[in-house]
Structure 1
Amino acid sequence: MLKQRIQDDVKAAMKAKDKERLGTLRLITAAIKQREVDERTELDDSQVLAILDKMIKQRRDSVEQYESAGRQELADQEKSEIAIIEDYLPAGLSDEEVASMIESAIQEVGAAGMQDMGKVMGKLKPEMQGRADMGKVSGLVKQKLAG
Structure 2
Amino acid sequence: MAFRPSQRMTSSLLRSRLNPSTSCPHPSRTHAAARLYSSSGEAPPPPLLQKLKGDLKTAMRAKDAARLTVLRSVLSATLNASKTASPITTDAKLVALLRKQQKASGDASAEFSAAGRQDLVDKEQAQIKILDEYVAGSGVEEASEEQLRTVVGGVITALTSEGAVEGGRAKMGDVMKKLLAPGGPLEGKNVEKSELAKIVKEFTG
TM-score between both structures, scaled by the size of structure 1: 0.76
1:133 paired with 2:133, answer no
Match of 1:88 among 127, 134, 140: 134
Match of 2:113 among 67, 76, 94: 67
Deviation, 1:106, is 2.0
1:117 paired with 2:172, answer yes
Distance 1:17 1:87 in 2: 19
Distance 1:69 1:130 in 2: 37
Cα–Cα, structure 1 residues 97 and 68, in superposed 2: closer, same or farther, change >3 Å? farther
CA contact (8 A) 1:50 1:130 kept: no
Deviation, 1:29, is 0.8
Cα–Cα, structure 1 residues 41 and 131, in superposed 2: closer, same or farther, change >3 Å? closer
Secondary structure at the counterpart of residue 142 of structure 2: coil
Distance 1:128 1:87 in 2: 22
Rg comparison, structure with higher value:
2
TM-score between both structures, scaled by the size of structure 2: 0.58
Distance 1:79 1:109 in 2: 43
1:104 paired with 2:157, answer no
Identity of aligned residues (%): 28
Runs of 4+ in structure 1 off by over 6 angstroms are none
For structure 1, the 5+ residue unaligned runs are none
Write 1 or 2 for the structure with the bigger share of helix.
1
CA RMSD of aligned residues (A): 2.8
Secondary structure at the counterpart of residue 88 of structure 1: helix
**Number of matched pairs:** 144
Cα–Cα, structure 1 residues 84 and 109, in superposed 2: closer, same or farther, change >3 Å? farther
Match of 1:43 in 2: 88
Deviation, 1:128, is 6.6
Distance 2:93 2:68 in 1: 22
For structure 2, the 5+ residue unaligned runs are 1-45
CA contact (8 A) 1:53 1:129 kept: no
